[in-house]
Structure 1
Amino acid sequence: MTLHPPWTPTDAVGEALHVLRMSGTFYCRSELSAPWGFTLPAMPGCLWFHVVTAGGCLLEVGDGVRELREGDLVLVPRGEGHVLRSDPRASTPSILAIPHDMPDSRYAVLRHGGGGAPATMVCGAVRFDHPAARTLVGLLPDLIHVPVSPLTDRLRDTLRLIALEVEELRPGGEAVITRLADVLVIQAIRTWMGTAATARTGWLGALADPQIGRALALVHRDPARDWSVAALAAEVAMSRSAFAARFTALVGEPAMAYVTRWRMHVALDRLAGGDTVARIAAELGYRSEAAFSRAFTRVVGEPPGAARRALAARDAPAGWETAVG
């Protein structure tokens, strides 16, 4: 039996949020004065966030332009390149070309602009490592803009704490800002999940279903267990046929196809972390390395060795990470 700490959520939505643990690729506190602007590079596999702690700016991503005001929070969930600037005429050099102060390898202070109206921001690029987190982030819209007016009290309190740290950076302030920023990202995603109509359909909607959501949580917690449709149905007190039909209708694929695909998500994580194929196969409940490799190739489209090489190439430092690291 798999044991979990007492704070592990018992509902599938809570568990999906529980695993939104981030590894910060980069955080930046920006002290800006109009006119100012810069272009942020694409960061595939990362989520960009921006918190406006004073002043305002324009955000341009894709074909859209958003006006951001003091207290606004915006997420770019799939790490698309985008532009921030004080006004439509401000030039936007690559942020990689603008000098930064670097208190540590993953935290920068940017001072930039022409000496006019001030603005301050906290920005960052974070990566989610858990497969459930990456699945959830993949379902988010291209842009999440949380304006100041409808913010919940908890979001507002977190923003206030970040703004106070930015105004008076004390010893350890960088660590406080990055931790608060991580909390803010999770709060923003939770706010979107609670209000967006699209969050009530598909995989996210299935997470909220009392029975299918519980079945998903069981698979996520213990993917190595010898699951069957009958075993999952018994766990959630449904008949086998009713469970199978409801699972497919809500999730969009049969239960056992989901179990196998989820195991391969976990396997990809383990490969990226350096585990051997033999160890991954054993820990995911496969009787042999060959059986695991066949299943992996069928689902992922390439053998584990090739996938490991592709993951290594993806995670190699380049561009922004090299420049700031």
Structure 2
Amino acid sequence: MTTSAEQAADWLLSGLELRSTLFHVGRYCGAYRASTAGHQRASFHLVLEGACWLHLPAKAGRAASSTRLVAGDAVFLMRDMAHCLSPDAGAPDADDFAVRTGAMTPLDAPHAPADGVALACGFFEFRSDLGDALNSLLPDYIAARHDDARLAGARATFELIRAEAARTNDGLSPLINRLTDVLFFYALRAVASADDFAPGLWTVMRRAEFAPLVSAVIERPGDDWSTHSMAAFCHMSRARFCKQFAEVCGQPPAQFLALLRMKVAAEMLRHGASTVNAAQYVGYQSESAFAHAFKRITGLQPGACRREGASVPEETRVH
């Protein structure tokens, strides 16, 4: 991505509220089948030592897959979904995905076999100022590979997680929760910069003809960004602009504009701005029209967003 596109992507991910909770930390050896499915929550698995296989059954729009994970890898399952970790390259039968086998032992258990795997597993919650608009762009799961050049900055974070897990007897350290939040942000940003990412926000930002427009809207959301003015900014005819923008983004320019404006407004509201001031700053003269658009895009009324901002601890947000 271009520098302006990277900055815009980081801006869209800012305000992301994360809260990770460790479920268990330990070692599996021999025959086992581990899973966090069935808890109605997004979850994660961090491979601290050794290796294992992540098996996902087929579902609508996605083929069954088996992926080898090694020390330093992490996988974030963005919603509750059938899956399992095992030492076997072959996936279990469809009816066996939910059947857990094997017992987890402490990391410092004596005489642990060399072919075992040490895991930190848990759950996480996240929400964005963009509500379901961001969630709908994300894949079912995100795999953060230890050798992914885009995640070079995350390696030190993973080493801190590994050291903290080794330091505590049961591994249930609040520091691991916070470090996992940071690791998730790295993984999410890597997905945003991938060339094969689904059409949407970041796809627009990677296009040289549209990235400056996105940056300009973020900087001046209250300007008169009509379709005609946006096309002129990109030095295109209105028809060509609408066609190319929709092909790249998967939605019309006006809808994308509303998304960016509501993101700006949400940040203002979470920092205590009044609904009137937020509405005017992002180009709305009618408070009711703004409230309707805000609810449609974020899923919240402006007042509820302001109250949430006042109640959320600062350390749970990614800036």
Shift of 1:52: 0.5
Task: Look up the SS of the partner of 2:210 in the other structure.
Answer: helix
RMSD (CA atoms): 4.6
Aligned pair partner of 1:24 in 4, 18, 41: 18
1:255-270 equivalences under 5 Å are 255-264=253-262
- TM-score normalised according to structure 1 size: 0.63
- 2: CA distance between counterparts of 1:136 and 1:302? 12
Q: Does 1:166 align with 2:168?
A: no
Shift of 1:259: 1.6
1:142-153 equivalences under 5 Å are 142-148=140-146, 150-152=147-149
Q: Give the equivalent residue in structure 2 for 1:54.
A: 49
In structure 2, what residue type is equivalent to 1:248?
A
In structure 2, what residue type is equivalent to 1:23?
E
After the TM superposition, which segments of 4 or more aligned residues of structure 1 sit over 6 Å from their partners?
268-276
1:123-272 equivalences under 5 Å are 123-124=121-122, 125-131=124-130, 135-148=133-146, 150-152=147-149, 154=152, 155-169=154-168, 174=173, 176-199=175-198, 201-233=199-231, 235-236=233-234, 238-241=235-238, 242-264=240-262
Q: Give the equivalent residue in structure 1 for 2:315.
A: none
- 2: CA distance between counterparts of 1:302 and 1:140? 18
In structure 1, what residue type is equivalent to 2:186?
Q
Q: Does 1:92 align with 2:89?
A: no
- TM-score normalised according to structure 2 size: 0.64
What are the Cα deviations for residues 250-269 of structure 1, in whole angstroms up to 9, with x where unaligned?
22343233223443466677
In structure 1, what residue type is equivalent to 2:148?
L
Shift of 1:303: 9.7
In 2 relative to 1, CA 293–147 (structure 1 residues): closer, same or farther, beyond 3 Å?
Answer: closer
In 2 relative to 1, CA 55–91 (structure 1 residues): closer, same or farther, beyond 3 Å?
Answer: farther
Taking CA–CA contacts closer than 8 Å with sequence separation of 6 or more, which of the two structures ends up with the larger relative contact order? Answer: 2
- 2: CA distance between counterparts of 1:222 and 1:186? 26
Percent of residue pairs bearing the same amino acid type: 24
In 2 relative to 1, CA 50–222 (structure 1 residues): closer, same or farther, beyond 3 Å?
Answer: farther
Q: Runs of 5+ in structure 2 lacking a partner? A: 59-63, 309-319
Task: Look up the SS of the partner of 2:47 in the other structure.
Answer: strand
Contact 2:129 2:298 in 1 (8 A): no
Contact 2:130 2:262 in 1 (8 A): no
Q: Runs of 5+ in structure 1 lacking a partner? A: 1-8, 99-109, 313-325
Aligned pair partner of 2:289 in 285, 288, 291: 291
State the number of aligned residues.
Answer: 276
